[in-house]
């Protein structure tokens, strides 16, 4: 895996490093300085090819002295604001498959959302800010913070992308996302078929406790993120085979 970058000549003769996606420019990352020397470009290119994620690439650029700490923190905030949530979901889903590193070219956080295609997530900056505040409260032990409605909204969109990464069709990913939001936050999003989501609840409960009646929620169980992992694999398998 690598980070796709490109070079542009900026104003004042500076060389700019841009994030690319399949040859298309996504956004400018940083200036490498006026007329960057070949050896500096080689260092940037080498780390782009070695890095497993944008975050890792940017951290190496900081260690190489090409960007300062303030710029690093700003870039991570701008281009991977939901990285901690994504990484938690990645570990949570391990038994069903690897959803990969944070998909920086597929998640967009903007002041005014626009209609995305099926492979993109476009989120309101206002919702993301509130969701991250709830997530930080959860991280320090306030599990009830997971019940924040804005966190449910953000997780619903992320859940569709996660479902796609686990090999589900778009429609099945919507069912998966609705179920995921409900078991984490307790909120019913109503995007998917309610009967299907209820059946996923039965499948998940049976996979984790052997009881199709038991219902578990992340905001009420301290060990949820470990104990409930078998549910992900069972739900994904059920959607692929029965729905």
What are the residue boundaries of the structural domains of the chain, listed by start?
5-79, 83-242
Amino acid 106: pLDDT: 85
- Rounded to an integer, what distance in angstroms lies between the CA atom of residue 87 and that of residue 91? 6
Neighbours of 147 (CB within 10 A): 18
What contacts 44, CB < 8 A, 6 or more positions away?
5, 17, 32, 36, 61, 66
**200-211 per-position pLDDT tens digit:** 999 998 998 776
CA dist 6 and 61 (Å) reads: 15
Residue 8: which pLDDT band, with cuts at 50, 70 and 90?
confident
State phi, psi for 103 to the nearest 5 degrees.
-85, 80
- For helices 170-185 and 149-165, angle between their N-to-C axes, nearest 10 degrees: 140
Local structure of 29: helix, strand or coil: strand
What rounded mean pLDDT belongs to the chain? 87
pTM of the model: 0.78
Take residue 1 and report the two structure tokens written for it: 């895996």
156, two tokens: 């619903």
| Tokens found for residue 182 | 């409900």
Give per-residue pLDDT as tens, 171-217.
Answer: 999 999 999 999 999 998 776 678 898 899 999 989 987 766 567 78
């Amino acid at each position: 895996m690598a980070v796709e970058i490109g070079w542009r000549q900026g104003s004042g003769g500076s060389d700019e490093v841009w994030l690319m996606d399949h040859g298309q420019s996504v956004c400018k990352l940083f200036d490498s300085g006026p007329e960057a020397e070949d050896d500096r470009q080689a260092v940037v290119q080498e780390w782009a090819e070695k890095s497993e994620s944008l975050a890792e690439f940017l951290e190496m650029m900081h260690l190489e002295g090409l960007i300062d700490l303030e710029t690093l923190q700003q870039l991570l905030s701008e281009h991977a604001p939901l990285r901690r949530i994504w990484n938690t979901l990645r570990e949570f889903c391990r038994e069903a498959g690897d959803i990969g590193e944070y998909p920086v070219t597929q998640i967009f956080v903007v002041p005014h959302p626009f209609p995305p295609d099926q492979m993109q997530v476009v989120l309101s900056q206002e919702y993301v800010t509130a969701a991250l505040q709830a997530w930080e409260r959860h991280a320090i032990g306030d599990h009830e913070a997971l019940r924040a409605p804005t966190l449910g909204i953000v997780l619903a969109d992320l859940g569709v992308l996660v479902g796609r990464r686990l090999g589900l069709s778009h429609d099945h990913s919507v069912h998966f996302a609705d179920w995921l939001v409900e078991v984490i936050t307790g909120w019913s999003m109503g995007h998917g078929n309610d009967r299907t989501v209820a059946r996923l609840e039965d499948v998940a409960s049976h996979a984790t406790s052997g009881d199709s009646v038991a219902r578990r929620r992340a905001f009420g169980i301290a060990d949820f993120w470990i104990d409930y992992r078998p549910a992900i694999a069972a739900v994904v398998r059920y959607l692929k085979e029965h729905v």
